[in-house]
Chains A and B, each alone.
Chain A
Amino acid sequence: MRFAKFILKNVLRNKRRTLLTISSLVVSLFLIISLATILTEFERGSQEANPMRLMTRHSVSLGFLLPIADVQRIEAVPGVKAVMPFTWFGGIYKDEKNFFANFAADAKKLREIMPELKMSDAEWQAFVADRQGAVVGRKLVKLYGFTPGQRITLKSPIYNQDVEFIIRGVCTGADEKTLYFHHDYLNELAPEWAKDQAGLFSILANSPDDVPRIAQAVDSMFANTDAPTKTESEREFARSFETMSGGVKQFLYGIMAAITFSLVLVMGNTMAMTVRERTKEVGTLKAIGFKRPTIAGLFLGEAILLATIGAAIGIGGAVLLFHSVDMSIYIPGFFISFVPTTQTLIAAFLLSIVVGIVSVVYSTYRVTALTIAEALRSTE
C-alpha cells in the first residue's frame, strides 16, 4: 500500500493517454462480452429444456410430416402423461423482415405440456374456446403492438395460406417471440398433403426417468410404418438445432481471440511508451536504493490498475445495457434472452487483468535491466 499513491499519481500523469487506453479496453471488453453472450444464449435452449419433455419428429427430416393419429398410440405408452401435435407454421406477419416463430399446438393440452407458459386463467379459457384464437409471447406485443382481440393475418409459404387469427392472450415464459394457435384450425385449412399431419409431437413424461424408455418405445412402435419417427429429449432436440449452425461457435471464438490479441497490442504499446518515457526515473529510483522487483512491481501495479478500471467500466456498461434493454427482442433469431452470464463477466475481468500484466512484462523487463548509469543517460 506504500506505493499505491505513487502508482495512482503515475496513472494520472498523462490523463489523456490513460483515458484513451481505458476507452480502448472498455469497448473491446464490451465487444467480447457481447459475442460471448451470443454463444451462451445460443445454448440456453438446450440448457433450460424441460427434462420431462420429449420431441418426436419424422426420422428422415423435419421437412416431413407425421400422421396426427399417432398421438393416441403414443398416449398409451407407459410413462407418458400427455401428447400433442406441434407444427411449425412458418407464417410471416406482413413482411419477411418480421420473422417470428409460430406453431400450431393442441390448445387444450398446451398449458399442461408447456407449464412454463404463464397466462391468466381467463386468457387460457378465451384461447381454448376460440378455434381461431392465438396466444402471443410478450415480446411480440412489444415489437408489433399486438393487443388481445386484435385480428392478425399470417402468410405461410409452407401451407400456401393467408390465415387470420384473433389474439386471445399474451403469455410470458419460454421464447416470448412465439405465437401459438389451434392445431385443429390448421388442419381445417391445410392443403391435401398436410391434412391430419403434424410436424412434431411434444410429449410430457411422468418423470425424467421415464424419458429414455419412452423415446425408445415410441420409435420402435413406428419403425416399420410409412412415417418412422425419431424421438429424443427436448434437450437433445434443441442441441441438434445448435449444431445445425455448424461453425458459428468456432467462428465467434476466433473473432474473440483476434480482439484479445489486438487488446494486448494496444495495452502493450501504451505501456511500452509509458515505461520508456520513465527510463531516467528508473535510474533515479535505482540510485536511491529501490531494487529491481520493487520497480517492476510499480509498473505492474500501474498496468493492473488500468486494466481493473477498464474492466469495471466495460463490464459494468455491458451489464447495465443488457439488463435495461432486452436485446433479444431486436436480434433476429431464437434468442430467449440476451443477458451475459456471471461466468462470462468473471472471464472478461480475468482476461482484462491478464492482458494488463502481459502488456507490461517485456518493457518492464528491459528497462529494469539497465544499470543506473545507462538509465540516467537515456535520452527518452
Chain B
Amino acid sequence: MALPIKYNLRNLIVRKGSTLATAFTIGLTVAVFLLVMALARGIDLTLSSSGEPLNVIVVREGSTAELNSSVTRENFNDLIYLDGVTREGDQPLATGEIITLIYKARKGQSQGSNVTVRGVGPMSFKLHSGFEVVSGRSFQPGLTEAVVSKRIAERFQGLDVGDKFRIQTTDYTVVGLFDSAGKAFESEIWVDVNSLSSTTKRDTFSSVLLRAKDQSALAALSKRITDDPKLHLKALSERTFYEDQQGIASGALKGLAVFISFIMAVGAGFAGMNTMYAAVARRTKEIGTLRVLGFSRRSILVAFLLESVAVALIGAAIGIVLTLPLNFVSTGTSNWVTFSEIAFNFRVTVDLMILALLFGAIIGFVGSLLPSIRAARFRIVEALRA
C-alpha cells in the first residue's frame, strides 16, 4: 500500500525553509546547466537554420570557410548554366559573393573583433530568404553603401545608420539595418558585390550560390561540380556547409556544461542528502507509527524518494524560471575558423527544459537514495522508542 502523496507534500510544507534551500541549490545547478546548453543551442540553431534546403554552395576545393575560398568569374559563368539550376524567367537563380573582414571595436571597449562583410548581388536576396531591412533602406548597387545587421550594429561601435566605416582604403556609408530570421547573416555587413570587388581589388568570388530545382538535382549538381577535375571546386548543400561550422564553439560549450553541471550536481546531491538524513532522523518515530499502521518498508522507501524528487523538481522548475529571461538574449563570440564574430541568441528550448527537469530529478533521486533506504530499514520497536 502506498502512502498518499498528500503526506509528502505536507511534510515539505512543514519544513519549508530547508525545502526551499535544497530546491534552490538544485535550481542553481540546473540553471547553470541550462545557461551553458542554451548558448550551445543558440549557436547550433543559428548555423543550422542558415542554409536553405535547395541551395548549393560552391567553394574552392579544400576550403572550410568562404573567407579562404575563391571561385573565378569564368567558373561562375560555367556553373550558373549547369543543368538543375533553377531559373527565374531566363535568369539562373545564382549569385557570386565576396567575403572580407573588417576589425571593429565593441561598444564600450577599445578592443573588438572581426566582422564579416559580404558582397552580394541582386539574386542574393532571393537565395537567402528572411532578409529584411528594419531601418533605413538597402544599399544601391554600384555605390559604396552598406546595410548592417541590427545585432552587429548593437554590439559594435560606429555601425549605425549614417556612420561611415572603412574597408581597406574606401569609406562605406551605413544606409540601413537588417534582420535575417536568426540566420548567421545577422553577424554580417552586406554591400554590393561589385563595389566590394573593386575596393578589395579582387576579381574572384569567395563563393557561388546556386538554387537547385529539387533534392535530386541538388545531389547531382554537387557531384557534378565536385567531381570535375578541371574546376578544383567543392559543391555541397548550403545546409550541410553551415552545420559543419558549428563544431568547435558549440562542442566546447557542451563540454563545459557537462563538466560544470556534473560537479555542481555532486555538490547539490551532498546537500540534498544532508537534508534528507535530517528529515529521516526527525521523523523516526513517525516512521515507526506508519509501520505499525501496516505500511510496508517499500512504501516508506518510495515515500521518501518521492518527497526528495518532488523537491528536486521544484528546484529544477526554479532553475528553468531563472534562465527563461535569457531566452533570445543576444550575445556573440569569435568563430575560430575565420576569426570573425558570430552573433547568436541564448535559446532555452523545450527539449532543453525537459532535459533540465530530468537532470534535477536525477540529482534528487540519487541524493535521497541512501537516507530513504535508512528510513525503510528502521525496526518498528526501535523507531518508536527513538
Contact = CB atoms under 8 A, between A and B. Distances in A.
Given A63-B100, A245-B334, A258-B32, A193 B267 contact: no
Given A61-B100, A228-B169, A246-B113, A261 B28 contact: yes
Contacts of A20: 270-271, 273-274, 277
Shortest beta-carbon contacts, A-B, top 7: A61-B101, A243-B111, A160-B62, A269-B21, A24-B270, A266-B271, A262-B28
Nearest to A24: B270
A272 interface: yes
23 contacts: A20-B270, A28-B263, A31-B263, A31-B264, A60-B168, A61-B114, A63-B68, A63-B339, A160-B63, A226-B168, A228-B168, A244-B334, A244-B339, A247-B332, A258-B32, A265-B21, A265-B25, A265-B28, A266-B274, A269-B18, A269-B21, A269-B22, A273-B274
B136 interface: no
B260 interface: yes
Interface in B271-288: 271, 273-275, 277-278
A62 B113 CA distance: 10
Interface of B: 17-18, 21-22, 24-25, 28-29, 31-32, 35-36, 39, 60-65, 67-68, 70, 100-103, 106, 109, 111-114, 167-169, 201, 247-248, 252, 260, 263-264, 266-268, 270-271, 273-275, 277-278, 331-334, 338-341
B57 to A, nearest CB: 15
A248 interface: yes
Nearest to A92: B64
A27 B271 CA distance: 12
Task: Pick the most buried of B63, B111, B167: most chain A CB atoms within 10 A of its CB.
Answer: B111
A255 B260 contact: yes
Contact of A27 (B65, B263, B332): B263
A183 B205 CA distance: 27
B252 A23 contact: no
A251 B256 CA distance: 12
A140 B332 CA distance: 31
B22 to A, nearest CB: 7
A242 B65 CA distance: 22
Contacts of A332: 248, 252
B144 to A, nearest CB: 15
A259 interface: yes
B101 A17 contact: no
B271 A269 contact: yes
Contacts of B263: 27-28, 30-31
Q: Report, as a range, how many residues of chain A touch the other chain.
A: 35 or more
A378 interface: no
A62 B109 contact: no
Interface in A72-99: 96, 99
A63 B340 CA distance: 9
A87 to B, nearest CB: 13
A263 to B, nearest CB: 8
Nearest to A223: B169
A193 B70 contact: yes
Nearest to B367: A20
B21 A247 contact: no
Given A240-B111, A244-B341, A269-B17, 12 more contacts: A20-B274, A24-B271, A60-B168, A63-B68, A64-B101, A157-B62, A157-B68, A243-B109, A244-B111, A263-B267, A266-B271, A269-B22
Given A20-B274, A27-B267, A62 B63 contact: no
A10 interface: no
A60 B28 contact: no
Contacts of A31: 260, 263-264, 267
A63 B101 contact: yes
A144 to B, nearest CB: 19
Contacts of B248: 99, 332
A109 to B, nearest CB: 25
